[in-house]
Homo-oligomer: A and B are copies of this chain.
Amino acid sequence: MKFKGFFPVLAGLLLWLLGPPEGLDTHAYHLFVVFLTVIASLMVRAVPMATSVLAGLAFVVMAGILPLKSALMGYSDTTTWLVVIAFLIAGAVIETGLGRRISLLCISALGHTITGLGYALCLSELILGPVVPSNTARGGGILAPIVDSMSRTLGSSPTNYPEKAGRYLHLVGAHANLITAAMFLTGMAANPLVSKAALDIFQIQFDWLTWAKGGIVPGLIGLAGLPLLMRYLSPPTIDSIQPIREKIKEDIQWLGPWTRPEIITAATLGVMLVLWSTKPLHGWGTTTVALLGLVIILLSKTITWDQLVKNHKAWDALIWLGGLLTLANGLKDLGFIAWFGNHIENGLTGVAPLALLITLALIYFYSMYLFSMLTAHIAALTGTIFLVASGVELNPFLVVGVIAYFSNLCGCLTNYSTGPVIIYFGNGYVQPLAWFRIGFIVSIYHLVVWLGFGSIWWKLIGWL
């Protein structure tokens, strides 16, 4: 373990020794200390997330804070399995080649100018967003390699004329990825954590349809403006993109006709989208529908179980997410959340609800500068922010929506916020300072779009 890995443990030890504040149960306090220690170690990143979480669980059981059965409850949580199944299906989209084909078709349809290429990236993200729930798989696995190769075809590489086309395309790709991650519950792996916190604290179902309903309009506006904004922030210098047109045509020809696995996967994704957005008709939840999709893909042998089980990102997510949910559930069950909520309500009399929400949202957004990962940011802060907001008179859907969307949009700030950003930045077309400067301006853009146009939309659908 690296040296910095000991800091969270030391801090946790200190808190443990300090003992619980008045009115808080000792077990609840101890669990809270473990939770803080685990979150701190996720931020420090001395060991993989799964290791931190498993160590936390082992400690919790051996110290007698929770019985083993409760400590494993996160692993039968429907949230956890939505993420795991979604990762597995995302793997199928990549392995069958469907993701690449969809991106190439978007580029072929829209990419007649350099701005058109930007729109093609946004459209690809929009199509893949709801069904490839790892934004790293979508941005880093499917699109970033295509964007890099397009840039080079246009004679723009990190060392030769990056400003010609590559810089522009990489910036559009990275920021489009974050917008689609924000738009759908299944747009980013840790999004279900927000829904779970909403259920725990506000007792509301912020399910797939609700998430998409609140996010679709500001999301589409944000995507529509992004390629234009980026033309202004990082102007490409290229005139003709003819070389791309030919290369894409070749690539598509090389792919040949649609294969059986691609067709079945596409059909399955279609069925899933329809079922997710028609829940009131049949009552099957988000996870049930995802499970059905997985079973169809397996029974049709589109992907074999042997291929699927090797998608270790899914199992990694299972371990860290399940463990985090156990800890979060435990805080609720042992009464920590109620105790904390009571304290907050007392301190919030006379505060204007909307002013409080905007303050919380801005703190949440810009605190991302301090985090090395969207997931840790979500796990550390959403619960607390919901608790604080629950102390005033606000529509819980509005509160959850704003925080849900900001959970991903705030990834625009740095070059280390999430997998695809690291990969797009890592391709080397954009200098660090430029990334930060542009990221900050994009953050203002997001605030204008989501709090401005967004609030009009949320008024229309009754959230405000």
**Residues in chain A within 8 A of chain B (CB atoms):** 1, 47-48, 50-51, 54-55, 57-58, 61-62, 68-69, 72-78, 81, 284-285, 287-288, 291-292, 294-295, 298-299, 301, 304-306, 309-310, 312, 314-316, 318-319
A314 proximity list for chain B (CB < 8 A) = 315
CA–CA, A162 and B312, complex, Å: 41
- For A298, the closest partner residue in chain B by CB is B51
Q: How far is the CB of A160 from chain B (nearest CB, A)?
A: 34
Q: Say yes or no: A47 contacts B299, CB within 8 Å.
A: yes
A287 proximity list for chain B (CB < 8 A) = 68
Q: Say yes or no: B48 contacts A306, CB within 8 Å.
A: yes
Q: How far is the CB of A264 from chain B (nearest CB, A)?
A: 13
Interface of A is mostly: helix
Q: How far is the CB of A90 from chain B (nearest CB, A)?
A: 16
- For A310, the closest partner residue in chain B by CB is B312
- For A289, the closest partner residue in chain B by CB is B62
| CB contact under 8 A between A54 and B291, given known A76-B74, A285-B68 | yes
Q: Say yes or no: A295 contacts B54, CB within 8 Å.
A: yes
Name 5 extra pairs, CB < 8 A, besides A47-B305, A72-B76: A47-B299, A54-B291, A54-B295, A55-B298, A75-B81
Q: Say yes or no: B315 contacts A55, CB within 8 Å.
A: no
Q: How far is the CB of A306 from chain B (nearest CB, A)?
A: 7
Of the candidates B54, B55, B288, the one whose C-beta lies within 8 Å of that of A61 is: B288
Q: Say yes or no: B305 contacts A58, CB within 8 Å.
A: no
Q: How far is the CB of A119 from chain B (nearest CB, A)?
A: 37
- For A2, the closest partner residue in chain B by CB is B301
Q: List 17 A-B contacts (CB under 8 A).
A: A47-B298, A47-B299, A50-B298, A51-B295, A51-B305, A54-B291, A58-B291, A58-B292, A61-B291, A68-B287, A74-B76, A75-B81, A76-B76, A76-B77, A309-B312, A309-B316, A310-B310
CA–CA, A295 and B81, complex, Å: 23
Of the candidates B76, B285, B306, the one whose C-beta lies within 8 Å of that of A73 is: B76
